[in-house]
Amino acid sequence: MLAGMAQAAAAKVEISFYYPIAIGGPVTKVVDDLINRFESSHPDIKVKAVYSGTYPETLSKSLAALKSGTPPEMAVVLSADMYTLVDEDAIVPIESLAKTADDKSWLGGFSDVFMLNSRSDGKTWGIPFQRGTTVFFWNKNAFKEAGLNPEIGPQNWEEVVSFAKKLTKRDGNGNVTQWGMQVPTSLTSYWILQGYVAQNGGKIADLDGRKTHFDSPEVVGALQYLVDLSRTHKVMKPGVIEWATTPKDFFEGRTAMFTTTSGNLTNVKNNAPFPFGVQILPENKRRGAPTSGGNIFIFRSSDAAKQAAAFTFAKWLTSAEQAAEWSIKTGYIAPRDDAWETPAMKNYVATFPGAAVPRQQIPFMVPELSTHENQRVARAIDDGIEAAMTGTRSPAEAMANAQREAERILRSYR
């Protein structure tokens, strides 16, 4: 009997799962619960969660572990970092693991737009997991006070300015007590700008990851619009607006409208002390919004059993039921059409219609900026956006500088 127990213990496969969050917090509890339930139904697999900090930290730690010979079996990394992982020969194509008809049916069930940052050269490198987009929120009470219809948000760039002027409040000394609009421009500011570029009829990069268009008229015009919100129209706080503080400013009445990730849906639902509206982004020449978020990547390994176990866990995590649950509990978009047909998701949308808004935006989404050496290229445009928002460069000059740097980085890949 003891020999049999030892054999059973030896047969259990342990895999490591790098997940981008600091230790603690509600999302960690959701991940831990998912792992516990997976292990209960798959007693031959043990999953060791490693909470690895931010997305960039997770990428850095995953590659460092790879170079030391102990890579994670799987990790959630930004979908936009796909080319970096492929260039490092760090990951395997999912088709090499999806062998059965059921596997192939599962792989074909993801929304096409989320696969644009998941495939390259005819291979699938990432599995859409916690994906998102940008959405538009407004304070219905503030709309009523300003004489606006609280049930309808602005539908185009001109209406954003018009509404924001009515919503901006100043005290007797001229100090702003409530801004009409707020757009975060810190951290991955290129991502927020990318939605405005799409609405302006342009794109910031080619899909093959080798060419950017930062100095195009559509990109410069979109950045000029953001600058004008603060400098010309004076309806948005000047300078760089911090990503993390934007929802709090909304909750505390310091802004009446704001744009943020759809991953904040649950946060706003749980913490806004007033009725709020949420909709897809306003248009200019057309509708447009970027995709975002993390994919599951499976790392190269000499241990076939561990790699197979990682695929089993990844497939389970992204099945219709778990994708629906993840979306409900976090606010990320369920990246599979069948997830939206589950009873849990249907019931959730019925009680919280705002949860359906990100899905309504899918037809207008464009892939997130993803290039070779993506973090360096993204840093170039982020620096340019900051220079424009702080007034140290004009939008045209800032984007010209960013394009020159991107050209320098990507030239060898062409």
Cα separation of 219 and 225, whole Å?
10
pLDDT at 6: 46
User: pLDDT band at residue 331, thresholds of 50, 70 and 90?
Assistant: confident
- 7 pLDDT more than 60: no
pLDDT at 23: 53
pLDDT at 25: 62
Looking at 3.90.1150.10, 3.40.50.150, 3.40.190.10, 1.20.140.10, the CATH number of the domain 2-125+292-318 comes to 3.40.190.10
pLDDT (mean) for 401-411: 98
pLDDT at 26: 78
The CA–CA distances, whole Å, from 201 to 8, 130, 192, 261, 296 equal 59, 27, 15, 21, 31
pTM above 0.95, yes or no: no
Cα separation of 294 and 17, whole Å?
13
- 5 pLDDT more than 50: no
Q: What is the pLDDT of residues 293-317, one digit of tens each?
A: 999 999 998 899 999 999 999 999 9
Cα separation of 6 and 18, whole Å?
28
Q: What is the pLDDT of residues 61-70, one digit of tens each?
A: 999 999 999 9
pLDDT at 367: 94
Between CA 57 and CA 63, with CA 60 as vertex, the angle to 5 degrees is: 145
- 28 pLDDT more than 60: yes
- 223 pLDDT more than 60: yes
pLDDT at 2: 54
Amino acid at 68: S
Q: What is the pLDDT of residues 96-106, one digit of tens each?
A: 999 999 999 99
- Count of CB atoms situated within 10 Å of the CB of 305: 13
pLDDT at 152: 97
- What would the two tokens of residue 182 be? 């707020």
- 3 pLDDT more than 80: no
Q: Does domain 133-288+368-413 sit in CATH 3.40.50.1370?
A: no
pLDDT at 277: 97
Helix or strand or coil: residue 122? coil
Would you say the CATH fold of 133-288+368-413 matches that of 2-125+292-318? yes
Share of the chain above pLDDT 90, in %: 89
User: Could you tell me which residues come within 8 angstroms of residue 260 by beta carbon, excluding any fewer than 6 positions away?
Assistant: 134, 135, 137, 184, 246, 247
pLDDT at 237: 95
pLDDT at 21: 86
* Beta strands 74-78; 289-298: pairing state: antiparallel
Helix or strand or coil: residue 136? strand
pLDDT at 406: 98
Among residues 220, 217, 215, 228, which one has the least CA distance to residue 158?
A: 228
Q: What is the pLDDT of residues 278-290, one digit of tens each?
A: 999 999 999 999 9
Element (H, E) at 32: helix 26-41
pLDDT at 54: 87
Instruction: Please answer whether residues 124 and 95 qualify as being in contact, where contact means their C-beta atoms are separated by less than 8 angstroms.
Output: yes
Cα separation of 243 and 336, whole Å?
28
Q: Is the model more confident about 263 or about 281? A: 281
Q: What is the DSSP letter of 151?
A: T
pLDDT (mean) for 21-45: 88
The domain limits of the chain are 2-125+292-318, 133-288+368-413
- What would the two tokens of residue 343 be? 């009873």
What average pLDDT does the structure give for the chain? 94
pLDDT (mean) for 366-375: 95
pLDDT (mean) for 107-128: 96
pLDDT at 394: 98
Q: What is the pLDDT of residues 227-245, one digit of tens each?
A: 999 999 999 999 999 988 8
